[in-house]
């Protein structure tokens, strides 16, 4: 096609499996344009030259699937969506750039405690003490009176207008299984799914209704246009056997995704790892897009096969691994991009990475990120 399309239109055509001018490219670095416009970094690794060199190309050539900023913790996965008045940060301690945050959930049957930690200059965190540790803790959590206070979504709509043709705004939804697993040590969560499924399923039943109420509100407010669902990768191999996906995911995620589809919005499912055995189930639940579709050996479904199975039904986002950006050579990156773009149809494909940098962009990462964009432009054309 001779006339260049907007980034938004490129994404929409990929979702619809329609030809465009080229395959959309997602950024190989973390970048939210509206956040940068409102609060540009004043220091740190995102102001270093390596990051800024990549950012220049991202702004010129990459499509954006940008998370909605002003949803007020609407789908916060940490605390079972209990009302905020029961949640209290009781301490925040920082030593040598390492911050430890202790939060308490006050319940009629006693307090529950969780501890989160993060390091300065690193765009991620982790929890070292989970909220739930015993069956007694589960009963405490369930005893908290529940009510929903709808937030004002005016700024969400403003951001959608501001993003404009640069891409699509996404409302992030933590699915029931993702949220429940976040409240346990992960090994205990997996053990309970096998040994105490009634407890896990009861928690999921209660939480699903809370998510449904909030999702219904967002849709009634016409927020969107994309809803990003944490894809319950906890129920994929090797964490769980395939039949567990039918128990812990399909009956819960499926109706929520259908709500989004029926409202005329798009469903984007995020699911790392080995998705071969749940691939059709994700489509059947209603996904319009799936990321990051990791290539073997990280995943277990080659892109060419996935294209054939998803043709016309679900767009595929991937297929470049974060570790390749960190450790491969630029020539290897070019080969990986060319293979992803040239094996099978280009329609229905959005080129992306399984993750992006969370700290310093090294010289190699910079070079690989630049080559990723350049190769995407070269081999992604549909003319």
What is the per-residue pLDDT across 328-377, written as a single tens digit (0 to 9) for each? 999 999 999 999 999 889 999 999 999 999 999 999 999 999 999 999 99
Cβ(353)–Cβ(1) under 8 Å?
A: no
From residue 246, how far is each of 253, 274, 277, 280, 374 by CA, in Å?
Answer: 10, 16, 11, 12, 41
Residue with tokens 């409102």: 38
What is 7-81+131-379's CATH number, 3.20.20.450, 3.20.20.210, 3.90.1280.10, 3.40.190.10?
3.20.20.210
In sequence order, what are the residues at sequence separation of 6 or more whose Cβ sits closer than 8 angstroms to the Cβ of residue 201? 247, 248
Rounded Cα gap, residues 343 and 56, in angstroms? 29
Indicate the pairing of strand 126-129 with strand 112-119: antiparallel
Give residue-wise pLDDT tens across range 116-144. 999 999 989 999 999 999 999 999 999 99
10 Å CB burial of residue 199 (0-12, 13-18, 19+) is middle
Rounded (5°) CA angle 21-22-25: 140
In sequence order, what are the residues at sequence separation of 6 or more whose Cβ sits closer than 8 angstroms to the Cβ of residue 246? 281
Look at residue 135 and give its three-state secondary structure: helix
Look at residue 61 and give its three-state secondary structure: helix
pLDDT of residue 149: 94
Query: What's the gap between Cα 135 and its chain centre?
Result: 30
**Residue 293, CB half-sphere, CA atoms under 13 Å: how many?**
28
pLDDT of residue 231: 79
Rounded Cα gap, residues 13 and 355, in angstroms? 23
From residue 216, how far is each of 51, 195, 213, 220 by CA, in Å?
Answer: 39, 33, 5, 6
Indicate the pairing of strand 126-129 with strand 167-173: unpaired
Neighbour tally for 228: CB within 10 Å: 23
- For the chain, the domains span 7-81+131-379, 82-130
b/e 131-170 (16+ beta carbons within 10 angstroms → b): bbbeeebbebbeebeeeeeebebeebbebbeebeebbbbb
pLDDT of residue 2: 42
pLDDT of residue 3: 57
Q: Point out the residues of the chain with pLDDT beneath 70.
A: 1-3
């Amino acid at each position: 096609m001779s006339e260049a399309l907007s980034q938004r239109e490129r994404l929409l055509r990929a979702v619809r499996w329609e030809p465009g001018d080229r395959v959309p490219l997602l950024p190989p670095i973390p970048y939210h344009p509206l956040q940068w416009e409102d609060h540009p970094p004043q220091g740190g690794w995102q102001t270093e030259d390596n990051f800024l060199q990549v950012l220049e190309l991202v702004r010129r050539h990459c499509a954006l699937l940008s998370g909605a900023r002003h949803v007020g913790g609407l789908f916060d996965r940490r605390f079972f969506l209990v009302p905020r008045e029961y949640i209290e940060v009781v301490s925040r301690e920082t030593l040598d750039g390492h911050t430890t945050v202790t939060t308490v959930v006050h319940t009629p049957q006693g307090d529950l405690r969780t501890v989160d930690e993060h390091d300065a200059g690193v765009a991620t965190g982790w929890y070292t003490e989970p909220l739930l540790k015993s069956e007694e803790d589960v009963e405490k959590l369930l005893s908290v009176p529940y009510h929903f206070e709808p937030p004002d979504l005016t700024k969400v709509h403003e951001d959608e207008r501001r993003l404009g043709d640069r891409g699509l705004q996404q409302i992030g939804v933590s699915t029931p299984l993702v949220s429940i697993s976040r409240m346990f040590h992960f090994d205990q969560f997996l053990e309970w799914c096998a040994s105490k499924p009634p407890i896990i399923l009861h928690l999921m039943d209660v939480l699903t209704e809370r998510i449904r109420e909030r999702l219904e509100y967002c849709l009634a407010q016409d927020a969107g246009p994309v809803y990003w669902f944490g894809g319950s990768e906890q129920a994929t191999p090797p964490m769980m056997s395939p039949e567990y996906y039918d128990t812990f995911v399909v009956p819960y995620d499926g109706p929520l995704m259908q709500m989004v589809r029926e409202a005329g919005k798009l469903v984007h499912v995020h699911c790392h790892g080995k998705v071969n055995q749940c691939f059709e189930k994700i489509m059947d639940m209603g996904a319009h897009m799936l990321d990051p579709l990791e290539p073997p050996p990280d995943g277990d479904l080659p892109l060419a096969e996935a294209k054939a199975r998803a043709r016309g039904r679900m767009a595929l986002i991937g297929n470049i691994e974060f570790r390749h950006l960190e450790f491969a050579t630029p020539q290897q990156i070019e080969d990986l991009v060319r293979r992803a773009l040239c094996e099978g149809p280009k329609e229905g494909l959005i080129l992306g990475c399984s993750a992006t940098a969370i700290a310093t962009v090294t010289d190699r990462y910079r070079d690989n990120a630049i080559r990723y964009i350049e190769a995407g432009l070269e081999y992604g054309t549909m003319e």
